[in-house]
Structure formats: C-alpha cells, structure tokens
Structure 1
Amino acid sequence: MNPNLIKSIEGKKKELDKLRPLPKGIVSKLNEQFYLEWTYNSNAIEGNTLSLQETDLVLRQGITIGNKSLREHFEVLNHKEGIYFLEEIIKKKTFISVNLIREIHGKILKNIDDEQAGVFRSTNVRITGASHIPPSAGKIYDLVMELVEWYYINYKSISIPEIAAWMHYKLVFIHPFIDGNGRTARLLMNLILMQEGYPPAVILHLDRKKYYKVLREADKGNPSTFLDFVGRSIERSLIIYLNALRPDSSNEKQGYITLKEATKYCNFSLEYLSLLARTGKLSAVKFNRNWMTTIQAVQTYLEETSIKKN
C-alpha cells in the first residue's frame, strides 16, 4: 500500500481515537448508514438487483419487493446477520480461525444453499471472466489454514489497513467456497478493521469494474493497485466518521463537494443529482443531512452513462 496513503489513513484513525468515547447517538446513526450502504453495495457487486432504497425497506421493515427473487431478499437479510455476527465476534474477542471463516460464510448462504453454507467446495471451479484458476478443491483446507497462520505471523508487522486488504485478496484468490466468496472476503476484511476500531470499509458497486480490474492485476503479480483501492475505501469511511463527529469543523471535507457544487461539473440539476445519489447511481455520502459527492464520482458517472449510450 502506498506509504502516503497509509500515513493519511493512520493519521485519520488517530484523529478518530482522540474523539473517543464516541457519542452513542451519532455512532448508532453512522452504523445504520454504513450497514445499509455496506449491505447494498456488497450484494450489488455480486449481481443483486435490489436498489439502495429497496434494500433499506427489506432491512428496516422486512418488506418483500415485487418482481425481485426470494434469493435477493435472503442475500440482504443474510448480510445483515453477517454484520451482527461480526459484532458478536468483536465483543467476545473471538480469534480468527478456519472455522470462523466458515461460520461467516454460513451466514451468507443461509436459506439460499444450506448444503453449501459454511462448507469448503469439493469440486474445482473457474471464475467467469477471470484468467486466475482457483486452487484445486483438495488443497482448500490447507490453504485457508495457511492464510490464518499468515495473518497471525504478520499481525504485528503489517499495518491494519494492509493486513485487512491482504486477507480480502488472499481469501478471494483461494476461492474456498462454491458461492459467496466475495461477500465473505469483504466481511472478513471488515472484521479485522472493526476489531481495531476502524469503521467498515465499503467497496462501492459503482466501482465494480475497477474492483475486478485491480483484483485481476493482483492475480498477475501486481497487488499494489488492489491494496491502494481498498486503502482509499478505508480512508473514505474514516472521513465520513470524522465529518459526522465534527460537524462544526471548519476543515474541508477531504475532497467531498455538495451536490450544488457538483452541478458545475455536469449538465444535471441539483434535483437530478439528488435523485442519482438517493438511488445509488452516483457515488455519494451523507454528512449530517446533506448529500456530498466528489468530482471524480461525477466524472465516473458521466463516463459510464456515455458508454451505455454508445
């Protein structure tokens, strides 16, 4: 991971730690926001078609959305249970282990594929669109055991953001399960971060193409772009936390601009940008009650919609 990025992340983490104990009311609101965003994006990356608002309805009210599959609803509910499971692990200070990784996966596939939930694959697989061929099924248990051992060997010598990103990549590389590997890897990554007082890092669905691109680059022996990609997600979460906890701070919001300011960089109205933010089509976050985005996010949206039109 880029040393300057690590320095920036760890600097913001120190700022967050100085504010502890954090106000329970604000933390509760932040968790609500993050858990929704995390669930929506992690599922959307894997092809779930529920929108951000629909995901919110399923989580908050248990509403079944018309024309959406039962599997998609279970993916939302299961991910929520996966997050709650992480919270229990953190409270109990449970050690990371092979069985713990299987338990996390078991939450993800509950009521979707109970026979495979928490079970290492017994067949060889290919990943669609990827050149990487996952290890043979007979090596899975030993490789996951080696992964856990690697974690404890490097825990004190590698920064928390780096080791969390590495664990994410290494688990996806092994691809130990028939389904649900990405969600499990992202939950494991965030477990490591949250155990150390970091907010969860959210890989945005809008960055899906880039996410898979940096994973492919890592498979080819260049993991730095993937590590930096995850690092920026960690930094983003810290920025959101700090700005929520210091609403009266005169400091700039670390690259974020208001939607009104964003209208200068496109031909869209404030109302339309607000709609894009609410529906998850424009990468944006809420600081207090106001949606904020970045110039890069606006440019990315313009590029993607331009490609679609062509």
Structure 2
Amino acid sequence: MHNQKQELANKQRTYMRDQSQQKNISNDLHQEAESALNLALQLVAVHKFEKARKIFEHALTLDPQNSNILIEYGQFLEYHQKDLIRAEQFYTRALVHQPSNFRALELKKRTLPLVQEIDQKQFTLIDNLLKELYRIPDTNPYLRRAKRDAYYLHIYHSNAIEGNTLNLRETRYIVETRMAVPGKSLVEQQEVLGLDLALQYVNCTLVNRLGSITLEDILQIHRRVLGFVDPVQAGQLRKHQVYVGSFVPPTAAEVPDYLDDFLKWLNSLEDTRDLHAIELAAIAHYKFVYIHPFVDGNGRTGRLLMNLILMRSGFPPVIIKKFERLTYYSYLDQANDGDVRPLIRFVAKCTERTLTEFIHQSQPTRTTGQELRLNDGEDAEDNFMEERVIMVE
C-alpha cells in the first residue's frame, strides 16, 4: 500500500545504508560472528539453551545483517523458545538483507500464516475488551476519573519520550493551574502547555467531526504542539533536510508530495478497508514519522494522529510510556527495514493495556493500582506519582 515513489525511495535509502554498514563490518568481525554462531549451535546441541541465546545475540551484535545468523537464531526461537512471532521476524530480516535466500523464503512461507493467526486472535481479544468497556456506563465515576487521569498521563509520557524531564506531578500542576514550576526549564513547561492544547483540539474538534483527515488538521495539531516553544516553526512544513540518527527522511522538497500521497492512502477506503483500526493507526503513525514533515514535534504529532484514528474507530487513546521509548524506536527502525508488524503488535499491546486498565479502574473495589503499574519499569518517583494521579481525586 506504499506509494510506488515512496517505496522506491525507501528501498534505495535502505540499500545505501545497508551497503555502507556492511562495508564497515570488518572481516575480523565477520569471522568472530561466524565463530559465535557455531558456538551457539554447539550449545543448542547439548541443550544449554540460555547460554546459546546469549551467544546468538552476541553474534547478531557483531554482524546484524548476516542471514545465516538471522535464520539460525529464528529457528532457535521457534523450536526452543516457542516464540513463533519473533522467529518469523528474523526470517523476514534475513530476506530484507538477502531477498533470494531460499531457506529464509521457505521458513517465512511456513510460519507467516501461523503468525497471522496469532495476530488475528490478539485483535479479537482487543475487540472483546472494547465491547466490555462499552458496557460500562459513561456516568461511572471511577471510569470518568480514570479517563481524566489518562489525559495527564498522555501529556507526561509523550513529552518524556522526547526527553522532557518534568515528572507527572509537575505536568499535572502546569495543566491545571497554568502556572510555572519554579526552577524548571521554561521550554519543557511550554511543551506541556502545547501538548495540552493539541489534545484539546483533537478531542473537541477532530474526533467527532465527519469527513477525511486533512493536511490542515495535521498542521493545526502541530501548531498547538509547538506553538509555545517555537511559534515560527509551529504548523509549518520544514524547509530543509533533517536527520534522525542514521535515518534520512525525504528531502524538504519531497515532503508536500509525500504528505499528499499519505493522506490519499489514509482516507482511501479501497486501501484501508481490510485493516483493523489498530493496524491502520500504527501504519499511519509510521508513515507520518517516516516523512518527518516538521523540524521538531513529529513524534508528538504522530502519536496524536495515531490516537485520532483509534478514537474515530471507538477505541480510547493509548499511551506509549517513557520506559518503552527504546522498544518503540526499535520497532520504527524495523519498519524502516520493511517490517511494520512489530510496531502494529506494540500498538496493539498498548491498546490492550489501556482497555484493561479502564475496565479494572471502573470497579469500585479496584486495588490500589500496585499490580497494574509498579512493574512498568519507571523510576520510583514516577511510579509513585502515577499511582497518586490514578487513585486520587
């Protein structure tokens, strides 16, 4: 469903990047990776699976594009870790780097239908959770509180992913009082106000409006996201090239055409009617951040766009949490390499989590929230403050 021009440009950039990376892998590293692979296979043969897993990962670190390592690790995951989804991802990665690899083709052909069945079961589970949520009256005071608290959590986490250091208590204080927190970065506090305005615009203007999502809608979202921090750039497409790590987005001259193609795809029933809402939201998010149409604020705008698509389909907005940042970025990288499904599964996981928490928190006998949140992997202060926001009126 990619536009042909975008797909070609993406493949060309991927090929050039891969060629450059491959040249940087010395023969010594390649030989060391092959030796590590052989050792891992020997460990598998004597049933030392945990040691084998670590050696496989070491081999991939040394030579991440080695098709033999990708295939062997995939088979290890499939047969000894019972992780069919990750195994199929490694077969796919092997094909990205070596499209004619017969062994990888056969393995992917065999596992893909099984993985698709697993994915479909996940969507069915999420759809059933959504039905359960809709059976809870909108007047339920506990659910209303949970939704209100989720609003502050979204602002906190979406900004924190981009490096904002304000904690949850400070974020909520700024939104509720419109007053500054002494001793804290003014720019970071302006980011909170901007995301608050953008969320209000999405919730109050775009979610229930009939019709297509337009370029003006995206510009208006971004104008609010960045309006307090950089009013000159807010709502303006970039005029120069930007770089995101090793990834090179389209040139500034290409951005309008890419956005036009993206919006035609997004609003086309023919292209999107067979996609689950979560698939559509995740793919749209990836396509948007791939274009990277703005100098700054692309991630926050892209996550708002993703949630707009979910909410128009009846789902609650989802939160990608601060501690998930590296995982989230790694899935965007995998999408750049040609496999967007890990990102889709990640958004599905976030959606399932949101639905489960809303259902749980709507019950008057709900727990203190410790079971739900203390294992999220955040630092102690953020965990404590998140509990306070969830549980305190």
TM-score, reference length from structure 1:
0.79
Task: Map residues 121-270 of structure 1 onto 2, 5 A cutoff.
Answer: 121-127=238-244, 129=245, 131-153=246-268, 154-247=271-364, 257=371
Measured in 1, the distance between the counterparts of 2:177 and 2:230 equals 24
Asked if 1:115 is matched to 2:236, the reply is: no
Task: Say which structure, 1 or 2, has more relative contact order (CA 8 Å, 6+ apart).
Answer: 1
**Kept after mapping to 2: 8 A contact 1:247/1:288:** no
Partner SS for 1:138: coil
Displacement of 1:287 after TM fit?
A: 6.8
**Kept after mapping to 2: 8 A contact 1:44/1:205:** yes
Q: Which residue in the other structure is 1:74 paired with?
A: 190
**Kept after mapping to 2: 8 A contact 1:166/1:227:** yes
The one-letter code of the counterpart of 1:53 is R
**Kept after mapping to 2: 8 A contact 1:199/1:237:** yes
Number of residue pairs aligned between Structure 1 and Structure 2:
271
Q: Which residue in the other structure is 1:295 paired with?
A: none
Give ranges in structure 1 of 5+ residues lacking alignment. Answer: 267-272, 290-310
Task: Map residues 25-104 of structure 1 onto 2, 5 A cutoff.
Answer: 25-87=141-203, 88-93=205-210, 95-104=212-221
Displacement of 1:276 after TM fit?
A: 5.1
Displacement of 1:24 after TM fit?
A: 5.7
TM-score, reference length from structure 2:
0.63
Give ranges in structure 2 of 5+ residues lacking alignment. Answer: 1-115
The one-letter code of the counterpart of 1:240 is E
Which stretch of structure 1 is more off in the superposition, 172-181 or 150-159? 150-159
Greater radius of gyration (CA): 2
Measured in 1, the distance between the counterparts of 2:264 and 2:224 equals 23
The one-letter code of the counterpart of 1:9 is I
Displacement of 1:194 after TM fit?
A: 1.3
Displacement of 1:133 after TM fit?
A: 0.9
Which stretch of structure 1 is more off in the superposition, 4-13 or 182-191? 4-13
Pick one of 277, 280, 296 that aligns with 2:383: 277
Partner SS for 1:137: coil
**Percent identity among equivalent residues?**
32
Q: Find runs of 4+ consecutive structure 1 residues off by over 4 angstroms.
A: 273-276, 284-289
Partner SS for 1:257: helix
Q: Which residue in the other structure is 1:300 paired with?
A: none
Partner SS for 2:234: coil
